[in-house]
Structure 1
């Protein structure tokens, strides 16, 4: 499983000129532990977390309330990021090692998603029935009632059996199944016993 499979999107972010007060409102309204700070080009330049918020709102400069300061003065930078193809185990290790609330996901330098701790927790509770239903929905959208496949899921491993029109259809079905969150492997089996397997 990769970051793309669990990341949250569209991403809620703030810009460097957003005030601390406004950024705190974003955190509390959405229940986030942190929010990416993104410049006008879509590049991640910082992270504003609950810790940054508490530290800033509890401190003053020359007796001045800092809640109207820009987040660029209080955000955490530089920022650790991952790509959509980063393995979830690597994401988890980096979050634990750095005690990070979230990791921005960037592609070609642009923010495309965020993996938060709650996203990782969801992968732990996602059961096989939910994965199977997701795969079934994807295949129904693809083939409707024209084709019927049996789907079995064990520990995230999906086994799809039935008749396939040709190798191209087998490839499409396997690719679709791999996009379902929680899928760790795909095995396509014909009733004749010939199979094509994929493992994450």
Structure 2
């Protein structure tokens, strides 16, 4: 979850909201009142549909935002958040307290990070590095607690040293073992 959430106010201009979305790579922005309560949401699609004429660009975001917002309580479990996002086809989900005060935003990538073990992510990064070295890698990668084991044939000792050095460049690798 991104917390504190980056949000805009109803009076924020369409141009400014577009800039925030673009700068941060978000799919949507919560719109909050002066007390931090969720009053709407504006997506990149909403802004694109509004167009960027000089008149629209200086209009308040309240003219293009959606006032009906699906949100989740701060107590929701990852499974509940996932179910809501999938059933409603949401890319992000505002998280609120009892008084509808915005406390954060959960994105699909936030949920994927929870569901993907760190070792699996590290293995994928090592495999990507090996593919960059060899278009058709001959190695199998396994990771346990940050310790990377690369199994497979090496052409010679020089290639073995290159592979070991390459694996060590991947952030998060705690150790390497090259097995033939």
**One fold, TM greater than 0.5?**
yes
Q: Secondary structure, in 3 states, of the residue corresponding to 1:14?
A: coil
Distance 2:108 2:93 in 1: 9
Distance 1:39 1:87 in 2: 26
**Aligned-pair CA distance for 1:55:** 0.7
Note the 1:178-197 alignment, pairs <5 A.
Answer: none
Unaligned runs of 5+ in 2: 122-143, 146-180
Distance 1:45 1:56 in 2: 19
**Aligned-pair CA distance for 1:118:** 1.5
**Aligned-pair CA distance for 1:64:** 6.7
Please point out which of 42, 45, 54 is paired with 2:36: 42
Unaligned runs of 5+ in 1: 1-6, 131-152, 155-200
Note the 1:2-21 alignment, pairs <5 A.
Answer: 7-21=1-15
Judge conservation of contact 1:57–1:65 (CA < 8 Å) in 2.
Answer: no
**Aligned-pair CA distance for 1:96:** 1.6
**Aligned-pair CA distance for 1:83:** 1.0
Please point out which of 78, 81, 94 is paired with 2:71: 81
Distance 1:66 1:126 in 2: 45
- Once superposed, which parts of structure 1, at least 4 consecutive aligned residues long, lie more than 6 Å away? none
Q: Which structure exhibits the higher relative contact order, with contacts defined as CA atoms closer than 8 Å and separated by 6 or more residues?
A: 1
Residue matched to 1:95: 85
* TM-score scaled by length of structure 1: 0.56
* TM-score scaled by length of structure 2: 0.61
Judge conservation of contact 1:27–1:35 (CA < 8 Å) in 2.
Answer: yes
Q: Secondary structure, in 3 states, of the residue corresponding to 1:46?
A: strand
Distance 2:109 2:21 in 1: 14
Q: Secondary structure, in 3 states, of the residue corresponding to 2:73?
A: coil
RMSD of aligned Cα (Å): 2.4
CA separation of 1:67 and 1:90: change in aligned 2, threshold 3 A: same
Deviations 1:59-92 (A, max 9, x none): xxxx874121111111112111111111211211
Q: Secondary structure, in 3 states, of the residue corresponding to 2:72?
A: coil
Distance 1:31 1:8 in 2: 13
Residue matched to 2:170: none
**Aligned-pair CA distance for 1:13:** 0.5
